[in-house]
A and B are shown apart, each in its own frame.
Chain A
């Protein structure tokens, strides 16, 4: 290909970003894995070590906790996000802007600040407990922090916008005439919603769930600050083996485990979005 043509190809525009990602992400990642795994020894020894780490009680527990929490968070964001996305799709400009503002603005605040804000709200003497005690609904403060409840509240809050925006894009693509046609042909609102709207927005829900799940399994700050001692997620385990145990090879193997899981989920996500294109919506 002559050089002149190369410069005319729009692909040239992504070259700086690709170079940046290569230098800033891909190279250090490969470097980290190669260097730390070489410490273990031969390939057979690496496999041995990987097997024993992957099957160790701590890792299995952490993987279970991670997936369980990620699953719960995904379901919570879906339950909370679906009505909000539906509302955004069917509201006038002013209400749309207001609600979207509330969803987007927390993004410009750091995760740590937002997490500490939750701790103020959810603590033993936090606003939520004071309200619950004041209203007489409970006799003693409810444990909303330093346990699974705390993690779920915090992570659901942080990940909710991803779900809402993904669902919103899918719902916005649903031609309103489908719901009209359903109604005109004798379907009640509930029937039309269940048999037309829900299936047509399903791919958006699946995409949103995968995005939230992928992000959730790698979460660190929120579970570290808001969770209890028994709720160890895999990212926290990795951090511990690097910072406290100074066991870099174990950290590398656990990271590879997490990366593999993420890539599998991403492959599924890719297939889902591909199906969406096939549906022509």
Chain B
């Protein structure tokens, strides 16, 4: 029997149904329901303490499920021991066994499954080549860099070709450049092997770069689930908007509604944006627009269908590829705008400036 064959026709779908975890009175994971598709790269994204790691540990079997159920390909696994779940797993601190060399580390899942020696050799060589560590088989963890250790951990998690691989902030300890390269590599491996990956991270760029879908978690609950572009462009609330990169979120009151368009009064400004949530005239709401969708307009020109505000530059942040301005558009109302660094010197603080953005680029978030 080859280890290559996935067991039966199981594909790697994971269903969380009303999963809850309590520590004392606190619900660290609160009624989480998710349907992760076979072969999907699915990220749990959230700040620390949002319950994303606990959710992963419940899927892995290291934390018990207090309420609800977890099913894989339709079969309930809530009470199953971790070693019987058959998932690959990559830990944040790598957890490379220090007493075993790279080869034996990668061989571990196969030996634990009593695979014959020939199959072990073949599979380990395959896995090490996949993560480009073929020549490192005899090394020990202490002789490897952080990135290399992470590759060993990945090879060890995929060597027995599990249909599901769980990853707990695997790139958290690596520096920024290496992290991007590893993201590309992990995504490439996942695509080639067609496995389901559940990936926990607090880095929104990482989640957006790799994921087919992202679940944004906060205080044990899921705030939004969707494709990266979806959650980035159309956040379900202010938390999601702020968490996935920079966002202008201008609080105000709904002044008028016509079709899918609303007028919002923010301080002294009147702004228009698309409505998605149910809002009524007079209710509190916020306008959401990404700073890169806001542009500097020439003074005096009109705005066709969008919003136009005028104000003064209050802060200039030179970030290399972009320059970010904080513009005071009305007393205590600030709008952030990102401008591509085109080589011209940045505007000075207190410069008078006009900003505009298209109505489609902004969204009304219910109070």
Contacts and interface: CB of A to CB of B under 8 A. Distances in A.
A185 to B, nearest CB: 4
Contacts of B87: 184
Interface string B69-83: 000000000000111
A175 B81 CA distance: 21
B334 to A, nearest CB: 44
B112 A200 contact: no
Nearest to A278: B142
B155 to A, nearest CB: 12
A136 interface: no
Interface stretch (A56-64, A103-111, A186-194): A186-194
A188 B60 CA distance: 15
A279 B157 contact: no
Contacts of A200: 97-99
Contacts of A281: 98
Contacts of A199: 99
B95 A280 contact: no
Given A196-B97, A280-B142, A191 B82 contact: no
Contacts of A186: 83, 86, 109, 112-113, 160
Nearest to A280: B142
A183 B160 CA distance: 14
B156 A175 contact: no
B83 A188 contact: yes
B112 A185 contact: yes
A180 B53 CA distance: 14
Interface string B81-100: 11100111101010101110
B36 to A, nearest CB: 18
Interface in B93-119: 93, 95, 97-99, 108-109, 111-113
Nearest to B104: A195
B126 interface: no
Report which residue of B83, B160, B166 has the largest number of chain A beta carbons within 10 angstroms of its beta carbon. Answer: B83
B318 interface: no
Contact of A180 (B86, B91, B160): B91
A192 B160 CA distance: 17
A279 B143 CA distance: 10
Contacts of B89: 181, 184-185
Contacts of A187: 83, 108-109, 112
Interface in A234-281: 279-281
Interface string A164-190: 000000000001011011111111110
A interface majority secondary structure: helix
B82 A184 contact: yes
A216 to B, nearest CB: 28
A180 B62 contact: yes
A139 to B, nearest CB: 48
A279 B83 contact: no
A184 B113 CA distance: 12
B38 to A, nearest CB: 20
B60 A182 contact: no
Interface residues of A, number: 22
A279 B98 contact: yes
Nearest to A198: B99
A185 B142 contact: no
Given A184-B82, A186-B83, A279-B142, A178 B97 contact: yes
A174 to B, nearest CB: 9
Contacts of A178: 95, 97-98
A17 to B, nearest CB: 34
Interface in B321-339: none
A176 to B, nearest CB: 10
Contacts of A184: 60-62, 82-83, 87, 89, 166
A177 B62 CA distance: 11
A188 B95 contact: no
Report which residue of A178, A182, A185, A279 has the largest number of chain B beta carbons within 10 angstroms of its beta carbon. Answer: A185
A181 to B, nearest CB: 4
Contacts of A183: 62, 81-83
Given A183-B83, A185-B157, A186-B113, A177 B95 contact: yes
Interface in B148-163: 156-157, 160
Nearest to B92: A177
A281 B99 CA distance: 10
Report which residue of A182, A186, A187, A189 has the largest number of chain B beta carbons within 10 angstroms of its beta carbon. Answer: A186
B91 A182 contact: no
A174 B166 CA distance: 23
B88 A185 contact: yes
A82 B26 CA distance: 37
Contacts of B108: 182, 185, 187, 195
Contacts of B81: 183
Nearest to B93: A177
A200 B141 CA distance: 14
B111 to A, nearest CB: 8
Given A175-B93, A180-B91, A280-B142, A188 B98 contact: no
Nearest to B153: A181
10 contacts: A181-B95, A181-B97, A183-B82, A183-B83, A184-B83, A185-B89, A185-B109, A186-B112, A186-B113, A187-B109
Interface of A: 175, 177-178, 180-189, 191-192, 195-196, 199-200, 279-281
Closest 8 CB pairs between A and B?
A181-B95, A184-B89, A187-B112, A185-B109, A177-B95, A199-B99, A186-B112, A183-B82
Given A184-B83, A185-B157, A192-B112, 14 more contacts: A175-B93, A177-B95, A180-B91, A181-B97, A184-B60, A184-B87, A185-B160, A186-B86, A187-B108, A192-B83, A195-B108, A199-B99, A200-B98, A279-B98
